[in-house]
Amino acid sequence: MAAAATFSTTKFAAATFSATKFAAAAAPSASSFNRSFNPGFLSCSSPWKSLKLGADLRVRAVSSSTVIKGRETLDFETSVFVKEKITLAGRDEYIVRGGRNLFPLLPEAFKGIKQIGVIGWGSQGPAQAQNLRDSLADAKSDIVVKIGLRKGSRSFTEARAAGFSEENGTLGDIWETVAGSDLVLLLISDSAQADNYEKIFSNMKPNSILGLSHGFLLGHLQSLGLDFPKNISVIAVCPKGMGPSVRRLYVQGKEINGAGINSSFAVHQDVDGRATDVALGWSVALGSPFMFATTLEEEYKSDIFGERGILLGAVHGIVESLFRRYTEKGMHEDLAYKNTVESITGTISKTISTKGMLAVYNALSEEGKKEFQAAYSASFYPCTDILYECYEDVASGSEIRSVVLAGRRFYEKEGLPAFPMGNIDQTRMWKVGEKVRATRPVGDLGPLHPFTAGVYIACMMAQIEILRKKGHSYSEIINESVIESVDSLNPFMHARGVSFMVDNCSTTARLGSRKWAPRFDYILTQQALVAVDSGAAINQDLVSNFLSDPVHGAIETCAQLRPTVDISVTADADFVRPELRQAGS
């Protein structure tokens, strides 16, 4: 029997912080500012934040290379897999490398589990169910993977098409599946989890394991002063990519050991010592190249925040703002689309994925670097402003509550009509995109536009900085701010526009993107672009700090763990949500 697997924590010595540089003489002296996190550093009440925006963006405190505040590193013990220590930006973290060569270990990792119930058939459900089924078959395991759906669900047809059926016991009613499973993977929408958690808990067997792919339910329970039942284990495996990416890279990588989507994992409750190995086995079976430890709380904060930021909402707001700017300044709309969307989803994403953000900057001409610097300098703080607000809305529970309420507005109630999510690709820009893609040569990654690169990377770095200040690990920061963006999500926008990217994601992600994208569009238009047009001086300290930031070395280390397979997404892809399966660009 596997030894009990427990989480322990190792404290790191307190970090020493260098003095902070300031952009103007009007700012406080460096000696008056301690580099450890100060809640006022990014707040509107901060004495270091300029009272005026636009041209005065340069008059702000600028943090030099950042060290994560005193956070405990999650260590873990496993009796089945090999734990490995890596160093990211001078900080030790622990991971497990995945790979198909580990599939024979799955029966040991899943010891005591006879049935895995996959509840739901949304973004993650189809991918995880099929990957688990295929990996267990490869391991010659007799563990049953069964899909549980509500009666009358239209997803029964999709599940049957994927090879699950009532006849062979791999498809059935949601409550029967929950009651009969030893490991219950709860992959219904977050709002549905919030409305049905009591019935789910009451139907689970004692000593069974609840598996989540998102920490949202913990956040919802915390907001109510509740927790999970104490007679079940609670774990999470959270792929750093939408469900279609999880399945697509697993299928593409069948001949490449370790190809897939990275995952974080967490053990929230462990009633019998099996939880860590089960979580790692689940990650391996999904095809994750590497898995890193987190907590449910840190996961939901970084994940909900990230998808509203650079992963979905921010990148949507950025391209809308820049497309409008470029066309208003006389650029042909086809070229404007290429210099915004295609630049980010093609050349910039590919370069960041394989070589990092610095490689984007270094690929520019001297004039291009100046244009990048102007865009970066003007955009960093406006993006930080919105991202800081967003993180605190998530951490306080406000954003979680917003998702729950939005899910209830999908249906008629209180005499008011239903308000499902509307379209997000109906403006002129996205119609232009259809035309551009129709004539795009195969393999064309678009131009490297320096101003677009400056804005996009400024927002990415702002998100990284918020997560660092809030104490997240570099593994989590890099996956939630960089890898998921360039390797999993942006390829979908490159293939068929913003809706094809956003609407293949979870309901929570889709709602958040729609809510926050206009905020990024607005603040960039009203502040960053105004600052550039008014001739605001480039904040050279800010640029210098970007060029020397320790995150670049951490990204390089993570890139060495990256599989050699790039996701292939075509406009007529058949592995996406059914409603998005259509031919054409």
- What is the CA 574 to chain-centroid distance, rounded? 23
Burial of residue 416 (number of CB atoms within 10 Å: 0-12, 13-18, 19+): exposed
Q: For residue 543, what are the contacts with CB-CB under 8 A and spacing of at least 6?
A: 373, 376, 377
Q: First CA to last CA across the chain, in angstroms?
A: 53
Is 449 in the active site? no
Judging by beta carbons within 10 Å of its beta carbon (0-12, 13-18, 19+), is residue 485 exposed, middle or buried?
buried
C-alpha torsion angle, residues 382, 386, 388, 391 (rounded to 10): -160
Strand partners, 291: 96, 263
Contact between 132 and 116 under an 8 Å Cβ cutoff? The reply is: yes
SS3 assignment for 67-123: CCCCCCEEEECCCCCCCEEEEECCEEEEEEECCHHHHHHHHHHCCCCCEEEEECCCC
Q: Are 98 and 260 in contact (CB under 8 A)?
A: yes
Q: Which of 214, 220, 268, 449 is catalytic?
A: 214
Bridge pairing between strands 171-173 and 144-149: parallel
Q: CB under 8 Å, gap of 24 or more: what pairs does 43-52 form?
A: 43/388, 48/22
Kindly state the helix (H) or strand (E) to which residue 554 belongs, with its residue range: helix 551-559
If DSSP codes are grouped into helix, strand and coil, which group holds residue 235?
Answer: strand
For the range 133-140, what are the long-range contacts, defined as Cβ-Cβ under 8 Å and sequence gap of 24 or more? Answer: 133/163, 133/170, 134/250, 135/100, 135/103, 135/106, 135/284, 135/285, 135/286, 135/287, 136/106, 136/285, 138/100, 138/103, 139/103, 139/104, 139/105, 139/106, 139/107
Distance CA 207, CA 233 (A): 7
**Residue 292 φ/ψ, nearest 5 degrees:** -130, 150
**Number of helices followed by number of strands (H, E) in the chain:** 24, 14
Contacts of 187 (CB under 8 A, 6+ apart): 118, 119, 120, 122, 124, 125, 128, 213
- Integer-rounded Cα Rg, in Å, for the chain is 23
In whole angstroms, give the CA distance from residue 224 to residue 296: 16
Say if residues 505 and 312 touch (Cβ distance below 8 Å): yes
- Rounded to an integer, what distance in angstroms lies between the CA atom of residue 277 and that of residue 300? 22
> Are the C-beta atoms of residues 158 and 183 closer than 8 Å to each other?
no
Q: Residue ranges of the alpha helices (H) in 287-365?
A: 296-308, 313-328, 333-337, 349-355, 357-362
Enumerate the active-site residues: 214
